[in-house]
Amino acid sequence: MSTQVVPSSPTPAGSSWAPLRNRTFRILWLAQLGSNIGTWMQTVAAQWLLVSHAHATELVSLVQTASLLPVFFLSLPAGVLADIVDRRRLLYLTTTAMALCVGVLALLTGVGSISPALLLVFTFLIGCGSALTGPAWQAIQPDLVPREQIPSAAALGSITVNGARAVGPALAGFLVAWAGPAPVFALNAISFLGIAAATLAWKEPRTARRHEAERLGEALTAGLRYLRSAPGVRRVILRSILFATPASALWALLPVAAQQRYQLDASGYGLLLAALGIGAVAGVWVLTWLRSRVPANAILAGSAAVFGLATASLAFLPVAVTGLALVVAGVAWIATLSTLNAAMQVALPAWVRARGMAAYILAFMGAQAIGSTVWGLVAADTSLPLALAVSAALLIVVAITVPLLPVYARTTQLDRTIITDWPTPTLAFEPAPTDGPVLVSLTYQVAAENADAFLTAARALELPRRRTGAQRWRLYRDGTATDRYVETFVVPSWAEHQRQHYERWTGSDRDLLAVAFDLATGEPEVRHLFSAEG
């Protein structure tokens, strides 16, 4: 794949808020926003329960770690489930279970039976629910809005998380100071019930399957195989890790800095978080202007640098200056998340979108989980200012690496429409879906003057063949005929080959195949060879 840097993005259709004109998108978006406000209220209440503890630095950072750690274990299985089961039912069952879990937490807190260890356990369980729902939420976005509105939808999706910081923490700070953390937990339980109700009202579009659904293990293997053969997608994931790891210091250490450095109470801490959320909301308007004038990689580099400077301000500057810096940091945060998120959603074809988004979530939130623990330990072993300063310096380094490791241009420009108009193969017998492995060979006749161009075009077929199901791929030249070339690839079963043809091959893959076909003389001879060993 080309390593050309991403050019300036085209101006998106309509305003940044255009996706909200879609009724289904609007209902789900509002439900998710309400749930995320409740989640951020709970985060503030949980952290404030621990902030006066003797080991506050470590425990407070562990709240974020406990909420993000399930991503390591559940993101990929959740992505598989979201690709092969009813996403509506998955979202409903999971959010209902989360409501029950948070309700129990509120009850235990209200009667004074909560301990730091038990609080972390409940935080982990709720994080498991979030990990299970994350890929499904991400995967449904391109089905709700036109392709040209996906960047705006991604920015609005980021607002449901980051804009919630403008409301949730401030509300939680005042509510904790007035009534304690238990009512905050109860409100979060109600917010999960709201999102469950919204999923019941949504009618997910049905896609007819030509073949039986993938099994869980097969689907996971297919998803991992896709990622191995998608360098553009892997680059987006790499950039998310490089940013999230140092950036997690600000989120993990902000409550400690609020109390120890600025001597703020719960409401003061909520206002600092709200400054980040206000910046995130403002970032939606800023991004509309930026995407039409600035290359995507420049947005990534600038955002990392700005977030680094804001992190440094938390270590060394007065609270008023830090508050303003956090507003700018919120803009930088949403700029990075929406740029990477939109690149992933556009790059992934529908059949593997949830699995690909699960890998992205795993990378980003997993980096945050590990980073939160590391920065908490660094601050405890050295000092809070030093930990924040090191994080800020690393973010500047991340900004510098963007020209060296840019997001690929073609990642966001490929045609991911599924192509289904394949000819039915003529076989002497009807294979069972599990028959395999299957060796597929295509024999091309190529004139001498087209040989070099054909070899280049044929070699470009390796990645799409592997992405869609091939375990092995090779290109041969016939030793008995100088104008004959043979392309071979192996798929694990006949069902997998059928999915390769009718459910996974995209418009951009077809274009690559057309180049090779046009350089050959006539149609290639196609053979399907089945294992004779049973």
Residue 422 pLDDT class (50, 70, 90 cuts) = confident
**Which of 412, 430, 453 is a domain's end point?**
412
Buried b (16+ CB within 10 A) or exposed e, 170-207: bbbbebbeeebbbbbbbbbbebbbbbbebbeebeeeee
Check which CATH number belongs to the domain holding 366 and give it: 1.20.1250.20
Q: Does 453 reside within a domain? A: yes
Q: Does 41 reside within a domain? A: yes
446/408 same-domain check: no
370-392 pLDDT, tens digit each: 898 899 899 989 999 999 999 99
Residue 200 pLDDT class (50, 70, 90 cuts) = confident
400/454 same-domain check: no
Check which CATH number belongs to the domain holding 454 and give it: 3.30.70.100
Q: Does 359 reside within a domain? A: yes
359/503 same-domain check: no
359/442 same-domain check: no
74/169 same-domain check: yes
Q: Does 498 reside within a domain? A: yes
474/510 same-domain check: yes
Residue 311 pLDDT class (50, 70, 90 cuts) = very high
Which pLDDT score, from 0 to 100, does residue 7 have?
Answer: 35
382/509 same-domain check: no
What distances in angstroms separate CA 453 from CA 447, 450, 513, 523, one per listed residue? 11, 5, 13, 17
Q: What percent of the chain has pLDDT over 70?
A: 91
Which pLDDT score, from 0 to 100, does residue 2 have?
Answer: 33
Measure the CA–CA gap between 290 and 155, rounded to whole angstroms.
12
59-68 pLDDT, tens digit each: 776 776 787 7
User: Is residue 489 predicted with pLDDT exceeding 90?
Assistant: yes
318-375 pLDDT, tens digit each: 999 999 999 999 999 988 988 898 888 888 888 898 899 889 988 988 888 789 889 9
Q: Does 2 reside within a domain? A: no
- Which residues are CB-neighbours of 434 under 8 A, at least 6 positions away? 493, 494, 495
Count of structural domains within the chain: 2
Measure the CA–CA gap between 222 and 216, rounded to whole angstroms.
10
Q: Does 433 reside within a domain? A: no
440-481 pLDDT, tens digit each: 999 999 999 999 999 999 999 999 999 999 999 999 999 998
319/405 same-domain check: yes
* Domain with 466 in it: 438-530
Q: Three-state DSSP class for 476?
A: strand
Q: Does 417 reside within a domain? A: no
Higher-confidence position of 243 and 411: 243
What distances in angstroms separate CA 456 from CA 150, 460, 512, one per listed residue? 33, 7, 11
Q: Which strands form 438-445's sheet, in the order they lie side by side?
A: 472-477, 484-491, 438-445, 525-530
- Which residues are CB-neighbours of 203 under 8 A, at least 6 positions away? 88
349/465 same-domain check: no
Which pLDDT score, from 0 to 100, does residue 9 have?
Answer: 38
Q: Does 406 reside within a domain? A: yes
**Which of 343, 377, 412 is a domain's end point?**
412
Measure the CA–CA gap between 6 and 10, rounded to whole angstroms.
11
234/371 same-domain check: yes
User: Is residue 99 predicted with pLDDT exceeding 80?
Assistant: yes
238/331 same-domain check: yes
443/311 same-domain check: no
Residue 151 pLDDT class (50, 70, 90 cuts) = confident
Chain CA centroid to CA 185, Å? 27
Q: What percent of the chain has pLDDT over 90?
A: 36
